[in-house]
A and B are shown apart, each in its own frame.
Chain A
Amino acid sequence: MKYLAFLAALVAPVAALSDPNPADWDAVLADAQGETVYWNAWGGSTTTNDFLAWVGSRVVEDFGVTLEHVKLTDTADAVTRVLSEKQAGEDSDGAIDLIWINGANFAAMKNADLLFGPYAEQLPNWALVDVAGKTVQSDFTVPVDGYESPWAMAQVVFVHDTADMPERVGSMAALLEWVKANPGRFSYPQPPDFLGTTFLKQVLVDILPDASVLVAPATDENYAEVTAPLWAYLDELTPYLWREGKAYPATGTAMFPMITDEEIDLSISFSPGAASTAIANFELPDTVRTFVLDKGTIGNASFVAIPYNSGSKAGAMVVANFLMSPEAQARAQDPAILGYGTVLDMEAISPDERAVFEGLDLGIATLTPAELGTVQAEPHPSWAVRLADDWASRYGVAQ
């Protein structure tokens, strides 16, 4: 193994030399011609899969880049894969060229030097990105430093069936009261699913008088004290959850059929437009609407990152850049397609392009940007990791 590592050390500088330079965009475009980019992205959503297929059809048309969507059930699988390749000394042409990533997975890859970059801020379309108004330069408080480029904004919304639950609730405390009055009608995905962990963070952010402590990494000293109100909240909530908290849905999207099945009335989503899209696809009743809390809800950006050992870095950068184009962003924001928030600055794009965004019908269940209100920052990833672990030992082994 040491011998292999030595060999890898010899090869590494050579590989780095041959990497394309994102600042020389014409060279990148020329390099990208004919490359195949394996994009590892969560494959559990038909709408997302369709959007990725469309991106593939566009980049092959304009840039000669073939895009293959490798459908993951869990983004961490891709992290594991790159790690295995590094272990095996596969440093120049790994299986993965692009990963849909954020949060803890990004932090893990960046820390372990598994990413190519910095490249994001050299991409031509970076100039159009709303750097001031959207959290695209830090990812769950971890500095991005150009090692991933943003392509969509997400924000927590609550999804409710107005036929059974006509009124929204304005806070997590009010949500607890509603659940206690309507036992068995609410659930959340089982942590460590990212949406389930987000629900825990959302509770914490909403019930803490001052959430600013979450910006810094969790420490052994402050963790127990800061999170104590959360566990008290969950202890009170759990007996009134769907199935009394003895079973949880696996993912966020798995909760839409549960609303349609009349199993639950209230759910949570990380995509403000997903409910409208699901109604259009017969996956939710048309009585479903969304709401956010009075103090706002947690939001973050979705990014793409390029592994250090991708053999098609130029092609991957071309795809990353295309994802930030007004054309791709407007399509992603269309609720009939995907319903994801844009990362672009509406002032930076041309009036024609702006008109496309303004002309979008956001759908009956989608809140307007104004209604979405304040976007709360993600806590530092160390909180999420500890919360998920702690949750698993407290509620993940319910008897």
Chain B
Amino acid sequence: MKTRRALPFLPVLTLIVMLGPVLAGLLGTVLPAFGHLPAAGLTGPTLAPFEALFAWVGLLRAVWLSVAVGVVTTVFALALVALITAGWSGTWVYRILERALSPLLSVPHAAAAFGFAFLISPSGWVSRAVSPALTGWDRPPDLLIVQDAWGMSMMAGLIIKEVPFLMLIMMASLGQIDTKRSAAIFQALGYGRVTGWLKTIFPLVYAQIRLPVYVVLAYGMSVVDVAVILGPNTPPTLSVQIVKWMSDPDLAMRLQAAAAALLQLSLVLGVLMFWRVGERVVGQLGAMWIATGSLGKSDTIVRVSALGAGVLGALMIALGLASLAVWSVAGYWGFPDFLPDQFTMRNWDRHAVGTMSALGETAIIALTVVLVALALTVGCLEAEYRYDLRVSSRGMWLLYLPLLVPQTAFLPGLQTLMLTVGADVGRAPVMFAHLVFVFPYVFLALADPFRAWDSRIGTIAAALGARPDRILWQVRLPMLLGPILTAVAVGIAVSVGQYLPTLLIGGGRIETLTTEAVALASAGDRRAIGVYGLMQTAAALIPFALALAVPAIIWRKRRGLRHG
């Protein structure tokens, strides 16, 4: 009886759990931004932090960088995904891409960025492959490729990681649109694959994937770890500068950091609004383009080059990962040698104890958080089903809020708040913070398959005398085993990759693979980065593999259940 009474309130409880920390953290940012930081003996309100911020000579460039990186990354990644899907959906090529997605997605951003940096730098792997034979270089050329002032290597690094994410979202949304009949019609009318798809299906798809696109945009504007590795440093992006100011021994800089965090937040909001206006403009232009009736003569070139760019991106991630693997077993490895002088297990031996304890911590946090997130998700979805509590589009915005608000804008404030209420450092608060980021992904991964479940089966079960709880546990959830495990894998990957929440809320006491890897990264020890980067990737990848394998084994005699 109890559960049935609690169930209708679960969505509200979930919203509080999710949004409470974000709002509280923002409050903890607003106060110091206006000069209120009692621990440093400072009380506001004053505009001094903003004056100091606007007096910083690097501000314009840092702001410009954040905006440019976010917008360029999102435009390119979205265009690439749209063109690849337009050109190849329904073909065997697309099915191969679908298979390659999970591994690409599960490579954590930091590990991918390291690998990418080593590939493209003047002394990197690509350069070594052709040196000195083709280039004559026995010293690398003094070229600013990684950390270039325009942020181009950072944009490239982000694009190759965001394409798989948007691809996954795109594939999921295609299932809800009647693409086959649209395709039949535009093909019959003589339109090319790409042009016809863009004119008829893309507008429908975009309406579905709008929010995830915003997430990519907000993420690109405020990411820290990738920006530290690939982004410029003279000056850095605004988010990196916020983290630098936060760690300045001069306490007054924390006020400036808080002011910058508010600026970062308003930048993201501003760019999102600008993007919405852009959507209308693109829509108008698209309508004009449709009205011209052009059939798309250069479609083949477009679809082949889009696929080429996508495959190149995937290859970069794979090669970057391979370079981490080689570094993890490398002895001395100087330029221009393509491979190390000798291979050794010493690096793994040295880091065995550290990686194992970090792996344990990572696993405990990820599994607990994902189980809680899963329980909340199933509870919300079941409440929606039983009581017809549909999530409105506003509700979806709330769900995405923690992913849209820059982490640098609310996590430092949240840290102070958690201390104030006596929730001391340790594993539990870190789990709580992870949940804020993990829940939306788990919910998004599971919501569609859960809703798509044929409710007539539930009616049959009820007719046979099963109560709602029994239908849920014995019919619906077992049938959804595949999607549930996929949602779990997605949640684990998100939890494994969390850096700032673990560091700030854990007070440094919680050592996960990601915090360890980024700490080591500051020293540029590629062997250590190789070991930790591989472990980090494995921690995210293995759950994906299990999510594919387990339903295939359990349902090996029930073909209809294998795809959920």
Contacts and interface: CB of A to CB of B under 8 A. Distances in A.
A85 interface: yes
A322 B335 CA distance: 42
Interface string B407-440: 0000000011001100011000000000000000
Interface string B22-40: 0000000000000001111
Given A262-B140, A282-B332, A104 B522 contact: no
B334 A261 contact: yes
Interface stretch (B84-92, B269-277, B508-516, B543-551): B508-516
A86 B39 contact: yes
Contacts of B332: 260, 282, 285
B175 interface: no
B234 A260 contact: no
Given A108-B251, A397-B58, A70 B508 contact: yes
Given A86-B39, A261-B335, A251 B524 contact: yes
B254 interface: yes
B156 interface: no
A254 to B, nearest CB: 3
A329 B146 CA distance: 40
Contacts of A256: 524
A28 B232 CA distance: 50
Contacts, number: 182
A247 B147 CA distance: 7
Contacts of A162: none
Contacts of B254: 80
Contacts of A81: 507-508
Nearest to B244: A192
B521 to A, nearest CB: 8
Interface stretch (A36-44, A212-220, A359-367): A36-44
B507 A249 contact: no
A168 interface: no
* Main DSSP-derived SS at the B contact region: loop
Interface residues of B, number: 67
A45 B516 CA distance: 11
Contacts of A393: 57
B248 interface: yes
Which of B61, B233, B332, B522 counts the most A-chain CB atoms under 10 A from its CB?
Answer: B522
A257 B419 contact: no
A90 B419 contact: yes
B235 A74 contact: no
B507 A95 contact: yes
A243 B122 CA distance: 11
A384 to B, nearest CB: 10
Given A183-B142, A247-B232, A53 B353 contact: yes
Nearest to B39: A87
A396 B522 contact: no
Contact of B246 (A43, A45, A80, A95): A80
Contacts of A385: 250
A89 B511 CA distance: 25
Interface of B: 37-40, 57-58, 61, 121-123, 138-140, 142-144, 146-149, 228, 232-235, 246-251, 254, 330-336, 340, 344, 350-351, 353-354, 415-416, 419-420, 424-425, 507-509, 511, 515-516, 518-520, 522-528
Given A40-B508, A95-B508, A250-B233, 6 more contacts: A81-B508, A242-B142, A247-B232, A250-B522, A251-B522, A262-B335
